[in-house]
Structure 1
Amino acid sequence: MKLIYYYFICVFTFLMSCTSKPEAQIYEYAGGCFKTALQFNPTNVVVEDINDLYTDMVVHQVLEGLFELNDMDLQPVNRLVEDYKIEDNGKKYRFKLRKDIYFHPHSLIGKKHPFEMHDVIATFEHACKANKEGEPSVLYQMVFEGKVKGAIEYFENKTDHLAGMYVENEELVIELIDHDFNFLEKLCVPSAKIIPKEIIEADQGSALVGTGPFVYQGTQLFGEDQAIVMTKNPNYYRVDAKGNSLPYLDSVMFYIEPKNLKQLSDFEEGKIHFVEGIPPARIAMMFEAHQEEFFNEPPQILLRRKPLLGTQYYALNMESPALQDVRVRKALNYGLNKERLVKEVLHDQAYAPGYRGLVPPFVLSDYDKNDSILNGYEFDLAKAKALLAEAGFPNGEGFPTLKLAFDKGTIHAAIAGEFAAQMEQNLGIFVNLEGYSFRKLNEVMSKGQGDIFRSSWYADYKSPESFLNCYNGLLVGDITGKSSKINTSRFRNLTFDEFLKKALNSENKLERLSLFAQAEEVLLAEVPFIILWYDESITLTRSEVRNLAVNEMNIYYLDRVYLKKWSMEEYQNSTGIKG
């Protein structure tokens, strides 16, 4: 039954794509269904609060923003914007929007509802209002608060419109308080995707109605398997360089599978085309069991490994009484043997142990030249014990038990166990482990319900700011206990904030990077975190998957992906399979 149903979806979508855009060509290898897996199902998505990789992977295929990052060089490219101008020394942006775009069908807007200016205004103004719990959205905190004129006043209900956003001469205008070199990059963040005004007014944002290359069909059951299904958008406006209609695929399926071993098993059985986050102990076994598929000509399986703009860390709650003394925070950092953690728990599935700051090393080459960011925390047990004793807790005596919150059912459970064991053995500090679902962990972190939180950050754009902004005091405010979705450590430091602000206002690249480095030096001195390791991407892909770019930010766009097995002749005439 599930095969018949899936066949109906693909045939229906393919016919629709042929009949609704007669002027567009159909790529000769168009069709098929790309299948992969997600650890978590991003259900009940609130678009303006998107802030995790799992939801990103889905919404990138369905929703679009004014701009998106190119998946090859990670630079902003136009999407819903046709053209733009920057005026007033970088403080005013004028956007001319495209007029050939339609939203996906929905009962509230019909089958072919045009994208218009008021949809952008409604999306952004909605994001600049508090939610039902009185909390700010991720989009407001990342893009608007303290950056766009009138955003704070609008959020606080002091005005009935966002003063820094208006329509003039049929263009959307956004005025900034200060020049922001990365403002276009900020408009690329997943939480800045545009949805219809009518959907917003009906509070139906989780329906994921967008303008993207695929139409969200919801989560469906296929036997015992649960999968998110997307089908080709027959009204999609973009074509490739040869005039072929995009996307090439008929459909996409994301199987929901929280267990990495099961994902790998599904890949080995040919059920899915692509898998990442391979369990460390299984990589060598995979090579041994499938040598022919890796080394045949042409190969059937591709292994790709590269550093990511991603950092795994523990956020230290700066409002926790136990962590007020910087000597204690430094002792926790010096007292953790990160190399042992990476070797024995991760089995070296990390780019490097977290010996430096929050910004990953060796990916942003110009930034890495700043010596100040080299002053991280390598394992130094003598120094850790001395600092703890100076703080009044020799050998951990009298120190309160810490509470560590992590997401259970993942490698982070083993990491948490190793951390607790090392803290007890090395420093005499006891750590209670509290495992939560991924969604519940985010809630616990944002509300500050604990001492230490398992966290990570993957860049939203290729700049140190994307990481350092996680500790921007503006995102917390002056109220203790206030919910904080980004700055989960609740770190407040005026010197850090000033360096960050000056960097954003600077038009000189070298000066900007130097200011970012000075800001990170403040972080390393105050150490509101424990950097665990810097991430890397290890992926397995079936070689018939073409055009799937793997980049430092784990951004995947599937609009140009197609499926075609390699012939020996094609392989011999190529320079190698790149996916």
Structure 2
Amino acid sequence: MRGLVSLSAVLILFIIISCEKTEDKDNRPLSEKSGGKLIIAEIVKPLSLYPQKLTRIEEALICNQIYEPLIRLNAKTLKLIPAIAEKWEVSPDGKHITFYLRKGVKFHDDPCFKSGKGREITTADIKYTFEKLCVNNETNYHFYTICNDRIVGAKEYNEAMKSYKEGDNQRPEIKGLKIIDDYTFSIDLMYPNYDSFLQLLATPIAAIIPKEGYEQYKDKLDFGAGPYKIDKKSSNESQLVLIKNPHYYATDPDGYALPYIDTIIIKYFENTEDAVTAFLNHQVDVVNDIPNNAAKRVVENHIHSFQKVPPEYIIDVSSQMMVQYILINTHLYPFNNVKVRRAINYALDRNKIIERAFNGQALPGIHGITPPAFKNYDVNQIKGYDLDIQKAKELLAQAGYPNGKGFPTVTIYTTKGFSKIQIAINEIQRQLKENLNINVIFESLPLDIKFHLEQKNKGHFFRQGWVADFPSPENFLNLFYGKYITLDTSKVFFPNTQRYINPVYDEWFEKGRDAVNKDSAYKYFMKAEQILMDDAPLIVLWYEAFYRLYNNKIKDLHMNPMRYYDLRLAYINDK
């Protein structure tokens, strides 16, 4: 009898172990493309993987894979495509959108759910997500971008939630958000700018999140319903490991399960040179944003790998919806004087900076903040700043600093790890000393410390780069929209981290943002951008091309001007 009990126990244990091993097995039909591992090199580690706190393109790369939004972008064309919402309908006046959810989309398995199993997404999750997005607080940096002045009732909901306490008889509601049934809801917009609103919904900041997950993890939440989930056992300080979500809803045109690749590894390096070395040693498959001089060396030293048929290595080069610039803190002396800001702008030879840092392979930022990447938005009409040393000296003298006399030493803060940026700042340092007798020092900081200094309004200059979240000049001009900005440093403001405030600029920006069509929007945006450049709260440095080095075994890894990654259709071909 004892032996029989023991045998039964062994059988039960075997069944339990077998179930544990197979519960995450992908039982969907798999393509011949399925399988393999993709290793991507990055320099900057994420500060947050909570959608509503995203601030960096490197964070978006990860969040595009682990979360699922209502809508996605086609990575090849940047056109809107269905995701959780399988379709949507826009009213003739452009102010009412009805969304129809796909049935059967589930959150990742997680202990926050009953029995640890991810549940189906319904409109209750849409409501919960938008209620989070429509509250301006320390865990949501994007209230003013997505909700305020866009969704009917968002502003009022945000105000009402300031006094609401759990247990109150009636919870505030967002007037413009209507739940029709478990799979249908609608949103009313204040203005007929539905196109930019839909594009915002395709960004990871609007990804749908589970109530159970947020209540348990708050802004440390790091899972959603995306094609991949984080493998926390394999992830550490030097790498983030993503594994395929076996319950992901999407399939390819032939009905095979997506994504194809089993494992995505994001490996972190101190600098781009180390990342390129790792690539050449076959330790990584993709290196993003490599300096063009490094790209040139790789080609020259490994020409055989590029000349094979088919080639082993490929370097993609494309123009970007991206700009590099320096933020000027207009609230600190002496940069509260517009003449000083303009003098600095006129004193810089951007072509020489580009020659030193990029071997001339970039466009000088002599117009506005918007890169020359948008059809029918002619940035050449924006009068920015080109080298004019005489005018720079005159303006500085008029501001009370003839030949730089009495001007304080200025610090430029930048982020660690990018050699081309260091070269560029060295050249800026040299030019400002030579042309205006201004002493400049620079300090390379970890991203979190630099972000903290910006938010606390400490420091004169901050080197920044911005890649479009959605394909419109609005995305770049929004960096300086300040209607709701205050100088209260206990509050976080993003993306206007420098707290630039100019009511005239805001007025024209709003006219463009709320315009009924693109032609009208562009006209107003051009006006706003010229006001911005005249006020000079920044130094536009350059608009650059993007160099990406990757192994040719990686297929369908589409490149686009936004650096928008959708890895669902990428696959490994080792044959």
Number of aligned residue pairs: give it: 543
Deviations 1:19-77 (A, max 9, x none): 533xxx31112110111112122254332011201111111111111112211121222
2:234 aligned counterpart, secondary structure: strand
Aligned mates of 1:299, 1:404 — CA distance in 2: 42
Which of 422, 433, 455 is equivalent to 1:424?
Answer: 433
| 1:330–1:527 Cα contact (<8 Å) kept | yes
Q: TM-score scaled to structure 2, two decimals? A: 0.89
The residue type equivalent to 1:429 in the other structure is I
Cα 1:113–1:514 shift into 2, 3 Å: same
2:150 aligned counterpart, secondary structure: coil
Structure 1 segment 35-54 matched on structure 2, within 5 A? 35-42=39-46, 44-54=48-58
The residue type equivalent to 1:128 in the other structure is C
Aligned mates of 1:383, 1:188 — CA distance in 2: 45
Residue of structure 1 in register with 2:313 after alignment: 301
| 2:141–2:492 Cα contact (<8 Å) kept | no
- The alpha-carbon deviation at position 113 of structure 1 amounts to 1.3
Which of 114, 124, 129 is equivalent to 2:130?
Answer: 124
- Are 1:367 and 2:377 counterparts? yes
Residue of structure 2 in register with 1:383 after alignment: 391
- The alpha-carbon deviation at position 481 of structure 1 amounts to 7.8
1:319 aligned counterpart, secondary structure: coil
Residue of structure 2 in register with 1:289 after alignment: 301
2:297 aligned counterpart, secondary structure: helix
Residue of structure 2 in register with 1:68 after alignment: 72
- The alpha-carbon deviation at position 203 of structure 1 amounts to 3.1
Deviations 1:389-447 (A, max 9, x none): 12221111122332322113333333333322221221112224233201221221122
Residue of structure 1 in register with 2:414 after alignment: 406
| 1:128–1:136 Cα contact (<8 Å) kept | no
Structure 1 segment 318-397 matched on structure 2, within 5 A? 318-348=330-360, 350-361=361-372, 363-368=373-378, 371-373=380-382, 375-397=383-405
| 1:180–1:505 Cα contact (<8 Å) kept | yes
Aligned mates of 1:300, 1:475 — CA distance in 2: 52
The residue type equivalent to 1:469 in the other structure is N
Cα 1:28–1:468 shift into 2, 3 Å: same
Aligned mates of 1:221, 1:478 — CA distance in 2: 39
Residue of structure 2 in register with 1:153 after alignment: 156
Aligned mates of 2:472, 2:143 — CA distance in 1: 19
The residue type equivalent to 1:446 in the other structure is Q
- The alpha-carbon deviation at position 539 of structure 1 amounts to 1.0
- Are 1:180 and 2:188 counterparts? no
Which of 479, 487, 497 is equivalent to 2:496?
Answer: 487
339-348 or 29-38, larger mean C-alpha shift:
339-348
Aligned mates of 2:346, 2:192 — CA distance in 1: 39
1:502 aligned counterpart, secondary structure: helix
Structure 1 segment 203-352 matched on structure 2, within 5 A? 203-218=217-232, 220=234, 226-348=238-360, 350-352=361-363
- The alpha-carbon deviation at position 79 of structure 1 amounts to 0.8
| 2:416–2:446 Cα contact (<8 Å) kept | yes
Residue of structure 1 in register with 2:443 after alignment: 434
Aligned mates of 1:20, 1:204 — CA distance in 2: 32
Aligned mates of 2:489, 2:568 — CA distance in 1: 45
The residue type equivalent to 1:175 in the other structure is D
- Are 1:467 and 2:476 counterparts? yes
110-119 or 453-462, larger mean C-alpha shift:
110-119
Residue of structure 1 in register with 2:204 after alignment: 190
Deviations 1:140-160 (A, max 9, x none): 121012222232233232563
| 1:358–1:520 Cα contact (<8 Å) kept | yes
Residue of structure 1 in register with 2:12 after alignment: none
RMSD (Å) for aligned C-alpha atoms: 2.3
Aligned mates of 1:300, 1:478 — CA distance in 2: 53
Residue of structure 1 in register with 2:8 after alignment: none
| 1:476–1:483 Cα contact (<8 Å) kept | no
2:265 aligned counterpart, secondary structure: strand
Aligned mates of 2:95, 2:354 — CA distance in 1: 45
Which of 138, 151, 169 is equivalent to 2:141?
Answer: 138
Aligned mates of 1:371, 1:544 — CA distance in 2: 40
2:229 aligned counterpart, secondary structure: strand
| 1:34–1:252 Cα contact (<8 Å) kept | yes
Cα 1:521–1:46 shift into 2, 3 Å: same
Deviations 1:345-366 (A, max 9, x none): 3333x531211110001x2121
Aligned mates of 2:535, 2:311 — CA distance in 1: 50
Aligned mates of 2:303, 2:487 — CA distance in 1: 58
Which of 500, 511, 527 is equivalent to 1:502?
Answer: 511
| 2:48–2:59 Cα contact (<8 Å) kept | no
Q: Which has the larger radius of gyration?
A: 2
Residue of structure 2 in register with 1:20 after alignment: 27
2:544 aligned counterpart, secondary structure: strand
166-175 or 251-260, larger mean C-alpha shift:
166-175
Which of 98, 119, 132 is equivalent to 1:94?
Answer: 98
Aligned mates of 2:413, 2:303 — CA distance in 1: 40
Aligned mates of 1:276, 1:14 — CA distance in 2: 36
- The alpha-carbon deviation at position 479 of structure 1 amounts to 5.6
Q: TM-score scaled to structure 1, two decimals? A: 0.88
- The alpha-carbon deviation at position 372 of structure 1 amounts to 2.7
- The alpha-carbon deviation at position 534 of structure 1 amounts to 0.8
- The alpha-carbon deviation at position 87 of structure 1 amounts to 2.9
Flag structure 1 segments of 5+ consecutive residues without an equivalent.
Answer: 1-11, 567-579
Aligned mates of 1:113, 1:481 — CA distance in 2: 37
